[in-house]
Amino acid sequence: MDQYYPYIKSLHLIFIITWFAGLFYIVRLFVYQIEASQKPSPEREIIGDQLKIMASRLWKIITWPSMILALLFGIILIVKVPAWLSEDWMQVKLGFVALLIIYHFKCQQIFNQLQKNEVNYTPNFMRLFNEAPTIILFSVVFLVILKDGINWIYGTVGIVVFAILLMMGFKIYKRIRERK
């Protein structure tokens, strides 16, 4: 590996972090946009317009460029170390990356709808939808750090248990919000 490898790896990690930050925050903005659409006029328009601006800036200036750069630096790393492609952990990781890209494009679709004031989801659906990248993030971090050091059965059970705990937390949070 050459002298630039640590820099490329660092940039890959930085843009993964900013990509996830954008994905986490954009869906929160979706929740707020959907809630604002249920408010009376003129509050609906004032809040809705401001949230559209915020979402647009986040999506176009941070999230999309971060995804492109994270993928670009990831591809460069694989080109530099092609043996990784034969590793089980890398193949599973790339599967999670594919799921994250699909999630990103679904967010693009929701973003486009909300920019046109089309509300097709509930705030609670969006809160639940926001947990998908969390599961992917946990999965990828453990895969990359532990590589083949973790038994796949325990890893799969761990992710399922983690997802169940997230769903339970979501239901508890929903009950708390409904009481207020």
Phi, psi of 45 (to 5 degrees): -70, -40
- Which residue is it, tokens 């993030």? 137
Contact present, 117 and 48 (Cβ < 8 Å): yes
Determine whether the annotation assigns residue 174 to a binding site. Answer: no
pTM of whole model > 0.95?
no
Contact present, 120 and 144 (Cβ < 8 Å): no
- Which residue is it, tokens 């890398």? 90
**What does the pLDDT look like over 49-81, one tens digit per residue?**
999 999 999 999 999 999 999 999 999 999 999
**What does the pLDDT look like over 93-127, one tens digit per residue?**
899 999 999 999 999 999 999 999 999 999 989 99
Q: Where are the alpha helices (DSSP H) in the chain?
A: 5-37, 43-57, 64-80, 88-115, 123-129, 132-146, 152-179
In the chain, % of residues over pLDDT 90: 68
Query: CB count, 10 Å around CB of 96?
Result: 16
- Which residue is it, tokens 């993928």? 71
Q: Which two tokens stand for residue 62?
A: 């941070």
Determine whether the annotation assigns residue 12 to a binding site. Answer: yes
Q: Which two tokens stand for residue 33?
A: 């946009």
Kindly tell me the sign of the dihedral angle through the C-alpha atoms of 148, 150, 154, 160.
negative
